[in-house]
Amino acid sequence: MNCTILHESKGRIRLHIARRRISDRDADVLVYALNGVGGVRQVTVYERTGDVVVLYRESRAAVLKALAAFRFEDEKLALAVPQTTARATARAYQEKMVNLVLFKAMRTLFFPAPLRTAWAALTSLRFFWRGLCCLWRRKLAVEVLDALSIGISMLRGDFATAGSVMFLLNLGELLEEWTRKKSLDDLARCMSLNIDRVWRKQGESEVLVPVSQVQPGDFVAVHTGNMVPLDGRVVSGEAMVNQASLTGEAIAVRKSTDAYVYAGTVVEEGECVVCVDQQSGAGRYDKIVAMIEASEKLNSATENRATHLADGLVPYSLAGAALTWLLTRNTLRASSVLMVDFSCALKLSMPLAVLSAMRECGSYHITVKGGRYLEQLAKADTIVFDKTGTLTHAAPQVAQIVPFGNRTEAEVLRIAACLEEHYPHSVANAVLQCARARGVSHEEMHSEVEYVVAHGIASRIGGEKAIIGSQHFVFEDEQCTVPAGEQEAFENLPPQYSHLYLAIGGKLAGVLCIHDPLRAEAGAVMNSLRRLGIRHTVMMTGDNARTAAAIAREVGVDEWYAEVLPEDKAAYVEKAKAAGRRVVMIGDGINDSPALSAADVGIAISDGAAIAREVADITIGADDLFELVVLKMIANGLARRTGANYRFVIGFNAALIVLGALGVLAPATSALLHNLSTIAISINSMTNLLE
């Protein structure tokens, strides 16, 4: 692709594409392609001007190489992009909104009065039908109030006011529908697979390849904690698969030979080999996006409360209009009361406020799966942190390797990397990074591997059992021993590090000393969270007590627990909730998943295990823990905004009703002020919460 660099700064580049026209579909394909480049953080395509802005962390050369290799005509790439995207949805509703406003202006400016009257009468039929349907169901809802206010205006011959009311109601419905569709799109995108590479079977070995290289008929291995990358049929192995993202089933489903598995589901236990049925982008997961519109996650409690309140106030509005007419015998005053309802402002401003907050979170690389989780976060008073990969840096380092049993450091590192590469976790990544840095290759040398949650990994090498993991797993569960004559070396392992133990054939083969540096911002984040309403901070880790105590002192948590299992974390969360606390759990690993699911709000780190991201309600980036502070600030701001919206809508519209009943405001003036206030509060609800 031919393009020109317009502007460039560190980590950011703006280019102009040498192409006469860029369609929405072209823009989506380009965004998809560039997001697949390692180190790219964000891609924005301005299809009207032909400009592209790329934010990246690592190699500028990789970005330019990808741009040079990109072709809009690449059919395989286009097939991988979902047909319905945020850009397409936004463009469709923008066109509907523009058409609605332009047609209203055209009617007002160019239609003669008889034609405007005929149009208003024709348009009103839909609102009358809705009102009659509500009455038929013996329900007094906002539709009844809308029909009455429009009907009275038309009976009085005030077709202009009736037309304005119907226009604003149509505009409100369109905005509500757009809000719902946008919420659906946000939910679908945060559920997106984000799988770049998969384990493809080649004979008896597994090779890590880009997902784009996998073709129908290829065999892909899926291990514990990993997400199924593509639709297909199980050809070997057995696994318990969490299909909640597709079917809503709370309990994992057993999948064995000949069973079908779907992209986007997560293997909770076991492992299997899948024969790929469809390429990336063509599976059932992409089609099911259209089926989740009814998801409860789309509506927050605030939105539901606003809807119920708006409907609940209808009888009072009707009673107020009737009372006004009985006391004054003035139809004009009664009409003024009916011209004002609480529906438009409540039903429009609340969803817009929630959507705006979710959108604002997205601008900080925070994915929120539903507005209700922001509400829960605003009320939270307790936060539980996993240590490794959360409070500590996302990339621990191997500081030292201590071999045992006459083995070399390179041999210990090679075996450890060979085992650890199958299960993504921050410690595993540290081992693999160390192997790359030292130039140690680690081709497959073992049989099938088994992941033991919160303990370690087991396999067989040369007929001997090989295990790697915690001290508890290696020496207590597996009863491994230290080679004769090396007990002193074992007892003198550097105490300042966490230790990863490797044993082969029941004998200790080596110890990898892991330096897991605390995030520089961790202490400041704790202080900021306390200022934002968090009263109790807890750290839980599977590490030993010595390491945990040092980290806890440095970061300043109120309470900490060491050597805990996944069920211990979940049990603590349940206990805290039973005590009346609103609990937030933040973690990144497979072992954090039960606690993430149990918490009022589960927050996962974006580069953590797939199952952690699947069960979590919110995902934050791995670059900076201050995103958690930003998230809490947005949640608190949303709570303040929705409260202010309630007070303004109820207070202002109640004042209009009183003034209309007293004859101070004419019906047209009441309708105008009511509609202007609805637009104003809606616009305010769409503004950013953080300046």
Q: What is the mean pLDDT of residues 506-529?
A: 90
Predicted pLDDT at 296: 41
Per-residue DSSP letter, 270: E
Predicted pLDDT at 442: 61
- Give the residue, 662 or 103, on which the prediction is more confident: 103
First to last CA, the chain: 38
* Intervals of CATH 3.40.1110.10 along the chain: 397-515
The whole-angstrom separation of Cα 321 and Cα 334 is 5
Tokens of 38: 């390692």
The whole-angstrom separation of Cα 120 and Cα 128 is 12
Q: What is the mean pLDDT of residues 422-426?
A: 68
Burial of 395 (0-12, 13-18, 19+ CB in 10 A): middle
- Look up the CATH number of domain 397-515: 3.40.1110.10
Give per-residue pLDDT as tens, 457-515: 888 887 889 999 888 889 988 899 999 999 999 998 887 688 899 999 999 999 999 88
- CA-to-CA separations, 483 to 473, 491, 620, in angstroms, rounded: 17, 13, 44
| Lowest model confidence (mean pLDDT) among 296-305, 374-383, 423-432, 607-616 | 296-305
Give per-residue pLDDT as tens, 217-276: 899 998 877 788 888 899 998 888 877 655 545 567 888 899 998 877 788 778 899 998
Q: Residue 453 — pLDDT band, cuts 50, 70, 90?
A: low
Predicted pLDDT at 287: 46
- Does 314 have pLDDT greater than 50? yes
Tokens of 257: 């030979």
| Lowest model confidence (mean pLDDT) among 54-68, 94-108, 183-197 | 183-197
Cβ atoms < 10 Å from Cβ of 479: 9
Tokens of 262: 């779907």
Q: pLDDT over 90 for what percent of the chain?
A: 20
Under 8 Å between Cβ of 420 and 468: yes
The whole-angstrom separation of Cα 532 and Cα 584 is 14
* Range ranked top by mean pLDDT from 202-206, 251-255, 566-570: 566-570
Q: Residue 140 — pLDDT band, cuts 50, 70, 90?
A: confident
Give per-residue pLDDT as tens, 282-310: 444 444 444 444 344 445 566 666 666 66
The whole-angstrom separation of Cα 610 and Cα 291 is 22
- Contacts of residue 318, defined as CB under 8 A and 6 or more positions apart, other chains included, come to 140, 144, 145, 148, 338
* Intervals of CATH 3.30.70.100 along the chain: 3-81
CA proximity to 70, closest of 21, 103, 34, 35: 34
Q: What is the mean pLDDT of residues 607-624?
A: 76
- CA-to-CA separations, 416 to 8, 10, 436, 447, in angstroms, rounded: 42, 37, 13, 14
Give per-residue pLDDT as tens, 662-686: 878 776 677 678 777 877 887 888 8
Under 8 Å between Cβ of 240 and 270: yes
- Does 153 have pLDDT greater than 60? yes
- What is the CATH class of 197-279? mainly beta
SS3 content of the chain, % helix, strand, coil (to 5): 50, 20, 30
Q: What is the mean pLDDT of residues 172-185?
A: 68
Predicted pLDDT at 294: 39
- Does 620 have pLDDT greater than 80? yes
Q: What is the mean pLDDT of residues 557-573?
A: 89
Region of 389 please: left (phi>0), alpha (psi -120 to 50) or beta: left
- Look up the CATH number of domain 366-393+518-622: 3.40.50.1000
Q: What are phi and psi of 658, to 5 degrees?
A: -65, -45
Under 8 Å between Cβ of 267 and 252: no
Under 8 Å between Cβ of 261 and 241: yes
Q: Residue 395 — pLDDT band, cuts 50, 70, 90?
A: low
- What is the CATH class of 3-81? alpha beta
* Intervals of CATH 2.70.150.10 along the chain: 197-279
What is this structure's pTM?
Answer: 0.65
- Does 342 have pLDDT greater than 90? no
Predicted pLDDT at 190: 52
* Range ranked top by mean pLDDT from 8-17, 322-331, 359-368, 436-445: 8-17
